[in-house]
């Protein structure tokens, strides 16, 4: 890792010792664009207060979304050809940082496909979700 990426000696050391466990890394749910899309569409459709959306409303919505199991909600996912492009880029970056992993492409592919299977490259489909009556009433109840 030396010199590949400046000021990353601790990350490199951890990676070399396999101390980084990708399953333990969670996205910051307070920055989910798809959650914002649901809130703004709900606002546009009059399910949420007709006034301006405030930061407090956004935080309240994010907190409520943390309680939701999104497994079976409608999603918009990246097309397979785009996933393949992303994988190629990801593998090139991996090799540029860790050239010694040249023979590990199958492991990289396996990890990538694991994320695909977990809908990591999908967003919630706000339009379809807000067509569901139970969701319309639930979102409305969060703000009224």
pLDDT of residue 5: 56
35-59 residue pLDDT tens: 999 999 999 999 987 788 888 888 8
Distance CA 30, CA 28 (A): 5
pLDDT at 16 over 70: no
Give pLDDT, residue 22.
Answer: 53
Task: Return the SS3 of 76.
Answer: strand
Residue 102's nearest CA partner among 94, 110, 114 is: 94
Structural domain spans, the chain: 32-75+124-144
pTM equals 0.69
Instruction: Provide the token pair at 55.
Output: 């930061």
| DSSP of 93-134 | HHHHH-GGGGGGHHHHHHHHHHHHHTTTTEEE-HHHHTTSHH
What's the confidence (pLDDT) of residue 112? 94
Q: How many CB atoms lie within 10 A of CB 124?
A: 21
Q: What is the pLDDT of residues 59-93, one digit of tens each?
A: 899 999 989 999 999 999 999 999 999 999 999 99
Mean pLDDT of the region 1-27: 55
73: left (phi over 0), alpha (psi -120 to 50) or beta: beta
């Amino acid at each position: 890792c030396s010199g590949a990426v400046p000021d990353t000696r601790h990350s490199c050391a951890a990676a070399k010792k396999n101390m980084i466990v990708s399953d333990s890394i969670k996205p910051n749910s307070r920055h989910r664009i798809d959650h914002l899309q649901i809130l703004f569409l709900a606002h546009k459709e009059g399910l949420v207060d007709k006034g301006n959306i405030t930061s407090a409303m956004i935080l309240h919505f994010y907190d409520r979304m943390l309680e939701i199991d999104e497994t079976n909600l409608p999603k918009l996912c990246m097309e397979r050809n785009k996933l393949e492009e992303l994988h190629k880029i990801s593998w090139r970056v991996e090799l540029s940082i860790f050239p010694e992993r040249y023979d590990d492409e199958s492991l990289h592919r396996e990890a990538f496909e694991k994320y695909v299977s977990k809908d990591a490259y999908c967003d919630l489909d706000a339009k379809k979700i807000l067509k569901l009556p139970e969701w319309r009433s639930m979102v409305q109840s969060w703000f009224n």
